[in-house]
A and B are shown apart, each in its own frame.
Chain A
Amino acid sequence: MQIPAAFEYARADSIDHALQLLAEHGPESRVIAGGHSLLPMMKLRLANPEWLIDINDLTDLEHITEDGDWLRVGALTRHVTLLESDIVAGHFPIVRDAEKTIADPLVRNRGTIGGSLCQADPAEDLSTVCHVLRAELVIRGPNGDRTVPMKELHRGPYETTVEPNEILTEIRWPIRARSSSAYTKVERRVGDWATAASGASVTMGSGGQIEDVTIGLTAVGLDGSTATRAQDAVRGQQPSEELYAEAGRLAAEDCNPVEDQRGTEAYKRHLADELTRRVLRKAVERLMSTAEAGS
């Protein structure tokens, strides 16, 4: 029977209350959201907080809001809500693609986007999604809000720039015209973490060329950041199979996978290549079909 070591528990009834509790109990206190990463870690003694501050009652952190050029998502928004949201899928199909493959329906009923990003596991699918969408994160602390770009959120595996006395409150995705996106993942079975996964977002220029692109890879040692050489190769070019192949080749070269029970290094590199081609192809196809539907 796996049970966490003893700790104290407090339930926050507002964001300010949560911040106050974190300040009061110091660095040995931890926020708990869905608990689906933290509780398993506590059972294994990989995390041993003295206080858990439960933020599940903070319903103002659970929202999806269109706000001008941004889609704002509360940190406590559950995977299931992101999966089912038509607003999210309309702007960013990559999110639904990814959510379909994250864990299983029961975990998705509890796990949150804020918990996923703060967990900073290198295999976290939503981290790649947020890199690809160039997300901004709103973090609240004793001195108010600060905003950091996604590429500055993670300090390394399982480490973030969210300080012990701060809370991630919101994820903001910029809405861009003539853009679409896709995500695809290879997993051994439902509920497994990625053997490898790839995500991409493309923006079309008026001449049919790919004006802008981001490509992200999960679980292959790119540490969540984007595949810059592949992006440079694609930017400004007309979409074609040859172009996707070139991007795949560069992405596979630039990643740094390690062999584990999910596969060999060579297999994962092969996946990085093939999955990168697929997401680029898919994102462009989606753009074409919405352009046709719109004309």
Chain B
Amino acid sequence: MQITMTVNGDAVTREGEPRVLLVHFLRDVLGLTGTHWGCDTSNCGLCTVLMDGVPVKSCTVLAVMASGHDIRTVEGMASGGTLDPVQQGFMEEHGLQCGFCTPGMMLTARALLDKDPHPTDEVIREAISGQICRCTGYATIVRSIQWAAAHPAGSSQVETPAAEPETAEPETAEVSA
């Protein structure tokens, strides 16, 4: 059936089966592989995206249920070559090691700071408590988010890293499960 939604500001329409999960629609149909998936069982939070500004686990939302909604993924965080302050914070404070949990962590952080620009460490820890990081021990993630809170306009000294080569082919073909 037809699935229409806004992804990172762009209207997209694709055909897909109702059973396609939002995470696979984003990755396999749109080629936006920045959204990761791990557990498949709504436990790890790796697949977190923003739906109408609210963090949700995209492995537990059907793409058809997201139809008509506004989705934001990690690919939509930087604008015009400038990283989101949250992304800068993760660079400044070493908020990642392997990077697997990072897209979801940064999106939750973005949603939190939009609501509460100066959260306490405790509020940050609560906000990310549905997301698992096996590398950092969370301390640097909390510091990264605090960096972003302290630099709401980012820092002009931080340069955008060279864009990664396009690896994913945005397929227009139907995904079947």
Contact = CB atoms under 8 A, between A and B. Distances in A.
Given A9-B1, A191-B130, A106 B18 contact: no
B129 A39 contact: no
Interface string A24-46: 00000000100110011001000
Contacts of B126: 105
A106 B40 contact: no
A54 B17 CA distance: 15
A3 B129 contact: no
Contacts of B173: none
Listed residue (B18, B67, B127) with the most chain A CB atoms within 10 angstroms of its CB: B18
Given A40-B42, A105-B130, A35 B48 contact: no
B55 A105 contact: yes
A236 interface: no
Contacts of B18: 6-9, 52
Contact of B42 (A8, A56, A107, A190): A107
B30 interface: no
A106 to B, nearest CB: 4
Q: Is the interface on chain B under 10, 10 to 19, 20 to 34, or 35 or more residues? A: 20 to 34
Interface string B47-70: 010000011110011101101000
A3 B45 contact: no
B177 A36 contact: no
Given A4-B19, A43-B40, A9 B57 contact: no
A40 B41 contact: yes
B75 to A, nearest CB: 20
B60 A32 contact: no
A36 B40 contact: no
B60 A5 contact: no
A105 B127 contact: yes
B131 interface: yes
Given A104-B45, A109-B56, A191-B43, A3 B127 contact: no
Nearest to A103: B130
B54 A109 contact: yes
A1 interface: yes
B60 A35 contact: yes
Given A40-B41, A54-B65, A3 B21 contact: yes
Given A36-B42, A43-B40, A105-B129, A9 B64 contact: yes
Interface in B59-106: 60-62, 64-65, 67
Interface residues of A, number: 28
A249 interface: no
Given A8-B18, A190-B129, A109 B42 contact: no
B131 A106 contact: yes
Contacts of B129: 104-105, 190-191
B127 A5 contact: no
Contact of B62 (A2, A8, A39): A39
A52 to B, nearest CB: 7
Given A2-B40, A7-B18, A191-B43, A106 B48 contact: yes
A110 interface: yes
Listed residue (A43, A52, A54, A105) with the most chain B CB atoms within 10 angstroms of its CB: A105
A33 B45 CA distance: 20
A35 B19 CA distance: 12
Contacts of B43: 191
Contacts of A6: 17-19, 177
B130 A110 contact: no
B177 A106 contact: no
29 contacts: A1-B40, A3-B177, A4-B177, A6-B17, A6-B18, A7-B19, A9-B18, A9-B62, A11-B64, A32-B65, A35-B62, A36-B60, A39-B42, A40-B41, A52-B18, A54-B64, A56-B65, A104-B130, A105-B126, A105-B129, A106-B48, A106-B57, A109-B54, A110-B57, A110-B61, A190-B129, A191-B43, A191-B129, A191-B130
Given A39-B21, A105-B108, 20 more contacts: A3-B19, A3-B20, A4-B19, A6-B17, A9-B64, A32-B65, A35-B61, A35-B62, A39-B60, A40-B42, A52-B18, A54-B65, A104-B130, A105-B127, A106-B56, A106-B57, A107-B42, A109-B55, A109-B56, A110-B57
Q: Nearest 7 pairs between A and B by C-beta?
A: A104-B130, A9-B18, A3-B177, A106-B130, A2-B40, A190-B129, A4-B19
